[in-house]
Amino acid sequence: MSETNDAVVELKALVAELAARVQTLEKQAERRHPEVSEDVLLAISAACAAYLGERATVKQVHLRRGGGWASQGRAAAQQSHADLHGYGDRQAPLTLIPRRGMR
């Protein structure tokens, strides 16, 4: 009978440990993936409707962290300026506006 009691005590300890680990993981998931507020969802829906010209249904929204959009925008702006000013391996300039040192 003591073996059964020991097994039950051991199982209860394991369940308590697993419950604590699950609670920790849930807290981490909340910090990494917070809930999107209803105001944000309404703003996204309105933007989609304005862009498409008709009412749209937003099915999923994921909060993203990081600068992917920002870095892509900076790269596009820098590339357009490089093309405009004749940097890079392009042979002919885009405009006939004289640049410094080219008169």
Distance CA 55, CA 4 (A): 63
Chunked mean pLDDT (size 10), the chain, 103 residues:
87 94 88 76 85 80 71 81 64 60 58
Tokens (6 digits) for 89: 């391996």
User: Is there a single domain that holds both residue 86 and residue 38?
Assistant: no
pTM equals 0.35
Distance CA 83, CA 90 (A): 8
Contacts of 82 (CB under 8 A, 6+ apart): 88
User: Is there a single domain that holds both residue 42 and residue 72?
Assistant: no
User: Is there a single domain that holds both residue 70 and residue 60?
Assistant: no
Domains: count for the chain: 2
Q: How many helices (H) and strands (E) are present in the chain, helices listed first?
A: 3, 0
User: Is there a single domain that holds both residue 14 and residue 59?
Assistant: yes
CA 45 to chain CA centroid, nearest Å: 18
Please tell me the predicted confidence (pLDDT) of residue 65. Answer: 65
User: Is there a single domain that holds both residue 78 and residue 60?
Assistant: no
User: Is there a single domain that holds both residue 13 and residue 36?
Assistant: yes
Please tell me the predicted confidence (pLDDT) of residue 60. Answer: 78
Distance CA 10, CA 38 (A): 45
Query: By the 8 A CB rule, do 97 and 85 touch?
Result: no
User: Is there a single domain that holds both residue 29 and residue 9?
Assistant: yes
Please tell me the predicted confidence (pLDDT) of residue 33. Answer: 67
Query: By the 8 A CB rule, do 79 and 62 touch?
Result: no
Distance CA 46, CA 58 (A): 10
Domain coverage including residue 45: 2-65
